[in-house]
Structure 1
């Protein structure tokens, strides 16, 4: 089939690689406009746009997909189908109608669970044991369209959102191409999503990423892993912000009040509502990440000092 691919971040690249290695023809990609990045705030191409530039494939960067100029170019390209992976903008009905077989979206959850922008983060945050990826027909509702197929994946006890998303991006790429093949052959069947089991996964904010030391240790662990690498879990010490990497709950650790620090020779512990956690990586403002023991060595902690 003739395809126009819509996507923006690096997580979409495994699907692009899989499509380019398939028998389908990639006419163009649609991605978010170049955005300022780095200290110089210079405009930077999205990973999907850069991937297409390297291969001489046309790149479309509408501010909004409802723009008449974009939709006119899409009609000129006349794609049979438009696969989507993490594009980052709502596609209006007028654009959805242009490809003969519509738009098919690879979403990183087992729909109808975790509809929205951050399905992997919410699966980790809420302690799900199993998740996966779904390919569904894009429609006007938020991730509500009928599903063509799914793959499942076990969430490991130490998975961060980044770890899990990397696996799902690879597994989902194969699923997406299989669905495109089935659509081309006329064998694809999209089944409506069930009405029960619906949950929403809005983007996690910086406030969501603040660690609640009054939570049980398992919840502290989940929040930090869910927010790694983005938006980045954080806390404060002496009113200075610290970013924290994944921690390890200590089942039989000493009693510490929520947030209370204890520095030992080989580990740094923090109290929670239950048992303490062992800090892993710490990043103080303006400094590089370092092991918690190295970070603590440079501090003169007073007895009873707490993270907040």
Structure 2
């Protein structure tokens, strides 16, 4: 078949490569225009554009599929369009221009987590299972009938970024098989069933850590917001806490649960280090046996890797030892 492929981020590259390596002909790649990246905000082509150029495929860079792009793509007389995280809507008449319409690879088990951030929302919600869905694109938001799905367990310590990388590879296989089935006429389209949930794009506020929440919710926030928008908190020295002063921004890159050995409480940091599971006040910090513990609304958690403002990631113990006073996280 003659295929149009639309995608932008690195998560879409495995799918593009799988289609390039298959029996079909990718006649056009569509991606969003180069975007500023790095400290110097240098215009940088998308990962999909770079992969397409390496394969000597024609590339159309556009932020929206308007009239001009629709006319150009319709003229290709493609059999099928494929979308993987392109970042803009495919509307009629382009939606019906390819002979077999469009397939979309989505990184969730639809109808759960329809929208722009399905992987992040799944981890934030504490889901234990995710997956990929290939469905036929229609006007609604991720509402089309399913061609193929595959469920994937979410690792207990897996961040949203790590899960997305894994789903990108798995999804490429599922998408390739779905395209082949559609070409062979053996694909079976099944309506989505169950109550949908929505996955809007995360904002900076979604990465703000609330230390009064239970430990499992705090850990889910850290994992779900990593790497973007980042799980952040403010490290405030005790004197500033009393005076109502501000703290220094701190990004928590990785954390781990601490086994509970006592009932939750709200006690302050004791003069003698408590056992690992003893309660700390929410946001209280303690260095014990080389481990950095932080209090939550239930059990403490262990901070493993952090990133102070303007610096690179580092072990949490090294960060804490470099401070003049033990901070409180807020």
TM-score, length-normalised on structure 1?
A: 0.96
State the 1:42 CA deviation.
Answer: 2.1
1:1-308 to 2 correspondence within 5 Å? 1-65=1-65, 67-194=66-193, 196-238=194-236, 239-252=247-260, 253-302=277-326, 305-308=327-330
SS for the counterpart of 2:14 is helix
- Which structure would you say has the larger Rg? 2
Distance in 2 between residues matched to 1:15 and 1:63, nearest whole Å: 20
Is residue 3–residue 26 contact of structure 1 (8 Å, CA) maintained in 2? yes
State the 1:39 CA deviation.
Answer: 2.2
1:75-112 deviation per Cα after TM superposition (whole angstroms, max 9, x unaligned): 22111001111111111121101111111000011100
After TM superposition, where is structure 1 displaced by more than 2 Å over at least 4 residues in a row? none
Distance in 2 between residues matched to 1:293 and 1:281, nearest whole Å: 8
Distance in 2 between residues matched to 1:215 and 1:111, nearest whole Å: 29
Tell me whether 55-64 or 2-11 shows the greater mean CA deviation: 55-64
Is residue 63–residue 88 contact of structure 2 (8 Å, CA) maintained in 1? no
Is residue 252–residue 305 contact of structure 2 (8 Å, CA) maintained in 1? yes
1:183-221 deviation per Cα after TM superposition (whole angstroms, max 9, x unaligned): 111111211112x32101111111110001000001001
State the 1:63 CA deviation.
Answer: 2.6
Gaps of 5+ in 2: 237-246, 261-276
C-alpha root-mean-square deviation of aligned residues, in Å? Answer: 1.1
SS for the counterpart of 2:206 is coil
Return closer, same or farther for 1:168/1:95 CA change in 2, 3 Å cut-off.
Answer: same
Distance in 2 between residues matched to 1:193 and 1:139, nearest whole Å: 13
TM-score, length-normalised on structure 2?
A: 0.90
1:17-63 deviation per Cα after TM superposition (whole angstroms, max 9, x unaligned): 11111101011111011111222222110000111111211111123
Is residue 93–residue 139 contact of structure 1 (8 Å, CA) maintained in 2? no
State the 1:155 CA deviation.
Answer: 1.0
| Alignment correspondent of 2:273 | none
Gaps of 5+ in 1: none
SS for the counterpart of 2:97 is coil
SS for the counterpart of 1:208 is helix
Distance in 2 between residues matched to 1:38 and 1:255, nearest whole Å: 41
Aligned length: 304
